[in-house]
Amino acid sequence: MFHGSITALITPFKNGEIDWKAFENLIEWQIEKGTHALVPCGTTGESPTLSHDEHMAIVKRTVDIVKGRIPIIAGSGSNSTREAIRLTAYVKEVGANAALIVTPYYNKPTQAGMYEHYRAIHDEVHIPIIIYNIPGRCVIDMDVETMANLAKLPNIVGVKDAAGDLSRPLITRHEIGRDFCQLSGDDITAGAFLAQGGAGCISVLSNIAPKECADLQNAWAHSDLETFEKLRDRLVPLARDLFCESSPAPVKYAASILGICEGDVRRPLLPASKMAREKVEAALDFAGIKAQ
């Protein structure tokens, strides 16, 4: 259903507010360079610091700009089941193709609690749902058994897996089947995830290297291993160093170098430090990525 290079969009800010012109330009550039789908209002979009009105406005603006050219998987998760239902109903209403719903953070539900959270959203809003499993941010880790039970529900269609365990896609594929869409949530494992049965990557890196990330995924799909390996190896320092500090500060600094948007992030995040800036600059240089 969903595949390839899927950009977890940054939210450009200017003077503390959303820079809508930069956001529109970013989306058009992503489509032009071959990105396969877009994710507005994920972690990379700084969803924790967006107001509800901003969150909804970003999803709607994304739908309005894209006009059906590529799929939109809108972030609509919350640690409140009611809130997640409300956001998911909205993204369906405005025309998103799917909802990316993060496991509930902070309140630490059990496996049974996670199941009931997703089941309630699934039963209330009829839209394809991708589970976002990211233990490093949410503390909890959805196990494969819980995911397999959720996958029996017709609209639970896949997972964004940021658990960092490359045995996981193989085991998940064995337990759930080939049709369950598995997407890497980590740029550093994007290539290896494909080899383990994944369908693509929801990527931070593709904000600043959309063509390279799309070409990497396309090369794998077409069994062009020579191109795949060259791109994989070129992108390694960026895939690593865009996370040298809390994301999205480093990728926003990279975006500012490339003229995409300013490097502003919202508190409690801070702009990239001198150390992070130096790492990002070196990684951009290694990858041969420059301002257009």
Structure token pair of residue 256: 């500012």
Residues recognised as catalytic: 132, 160
Supply the DSSP string of 141-206, one letter for each residue.
---HHHHHHHHTSTTEEEEEE-S--TTHHHHHHHHH-TTSEEEES-GGGHHHHHHTT--EEEESGG
8 A C-beta contact, residue 210 and residue 7 = yes
Q: Which two tokens stand for residue 61?
A: 């603006």
Residue 29 backbone phi and psi in degrees, to 5: -65, -40
CA atoms within 13 A on the CB side of 276: 18
Residue 135: helix, strand or coil by DSSP?
helix
